[in-house]
Amino acid sequence: MSAIEIWGEMVRLEHAQSDRMRGVRPDDHWTQCAPQFKADPHRSGDTLVDALRAHLRPADTLLDVGAGGGRLALPLALACQSVTAVEPSPSMCAVLRATAREYNIANVSIIPAGWPEADVAPADVTLCSHVVYVVEDIAPFVHKLHSHARRLALAVLFQSPPQSQIYPLWEQVHGEKRHPLPSLPEFLPVLHELGIQPQVTELAAQPPRGYDSAADAIESIASRLYVTPNTDAMARLEQALADSLHETGGVWQVRGTQPLRPCLVAWPTAA
């Protein structure tokens, strides 16, 4: 199988397993967690924002594909001429729109559509952060990221799948191994097959996710495992977490969780 076929197969298998566990696929997958993608556009010390900003020039236009709640689009809008945010999730668009209004950032326009189908003009730089893991048909997606960038394309991916920290729980709760989504190790061979030689920069590891309480942790992990209250699966999850949830300084974490490491993948697109 080619790297592009392996990528598609991994996404297909993961999606099929998710559909089987949760039943009906929600219209907007992000409704619950969209508020987590809100962040102060003026914050400092965010290594990802700093790394992306270093690639931008003040006169640049930026196309942020899968912009979410504007965690990156809004700070980057302060460093370039304008940002076009392509985002299919209504709840994410709502967070992005409200945050732009709250901070008076007027040079961001939102295209409420998915990629690659979105009808949008090219920009100097395209950016796609933590989106490609779920894209089954990866070749046209990357091809358009490339063809719509006049100067530079940027992608941000973790070195392991975003939910990999809870993959071990699948076996304990559902009695089967989780099919992993593809991430950076599968993305680089895809780029190679597409004739793209990127520069890859490893960024600071993200500390494991913390929760406000044990109940908050169980609820959040349960929803990511498609486990509902008052079921045998919930009892198995509570049992699995009983020994591994611990609290330090008011923050609850799952013991032994490995941090996720983001990488910035950059390639020039000018002919």
Ligand X SMILES: C[S@@+](CC[C@H](N)C(=O)[O-])C[C@H]1O[C@@H](n2cnc3c(N)ncnc32)[C@H](O)[C@@H]1O
The site for ligand X (CB under 6 A) is made up of: 30, 37, 65-68, 71-72, 86-89, 92, 114-115, 129-131, 134-135
Identify which of residues 41 and 241 has a Cβ nearer to ligand X in the complex.
Answer: 41
Identify which of residues 180 and 244 has a Cβ nearer to ligand X in the complex.
Answer: 180
Alpha-helix runs per DSSP H in the chain: 3-22, 47-53, 73-77, 90-102, 138-147, 167-174, 184-193, 214-224, 232-244
Identify which of residues 130 and 209 has a Cβ nearer to ligand X in the complex.
Answer: 130
The residue number with the shortest CB distance to ligand X is 68
β-partners of residue 125 are 62, 152
* Residue 77 in tokens: 């809008």
Identify which of residues 65 and 80 has a Cβ nearer to ligand X in the complex.
Answer: 65
Write down the least CB distance from residue 34 to ligand X, Å: 8
Write down the least CB distance from residue 46 to ligand X, Å: 11
Number of helices followed by number of strands (H, E) in the chain: 9, 9
Write down the least CB distance from residue 108 to ligand X, Å: 13
Rg of the chain over Cα atoms, rounded to whole angstroms, equals: 19
Write down the least CB distance from residue 258 to ligand X, Å: 19
Q: Can you list the positions of beta strands (E) in 27-135?
A: 61-65, 82-86, 108-111, 123-129
Identify which of residues 31 and 244 has a Cβ nearer to ligand X in the complex.
Answer: 31
Q: Which residues contact 44 (CB under 8 A, 6 or more apart)?
A: none
Identify which of residues 71 and 148 has a Cβ nearer to ligand X in the complex.
Answer: 71
Write down the least CB distance from residue 37 to ligand X, Å: 5
Write down the least CB distance from residue 192 to ligand X, Å: 22
Closest CA to 84 of 59, 104, 64, 114: 64
CA distance 199 to 165: 27
Identify which of residues 72 and 218 has a Cβ nearer to ligand X in the complex.
Answer: 72
Query: β-strands 108-111, 123-129: how paired?
Result: unpaired
* Residue 57 in tokens: 């020039």
* CB contact at 8 A, 81 and 59: yes
Write down the least CB distance from residue 49 to ligand X, Å: 10
Write down the least CB distance from residue 29 to ligand X, Å: 7
Identify which of residues 127 and 240 has a Cβ nearer to ligand X in the complex.
Answer: 127
DSSP 8-state class, residue 260: B
CA distance 141 to 158: 18
Closest CA to 146 of 17, 21, 4, 270: 270
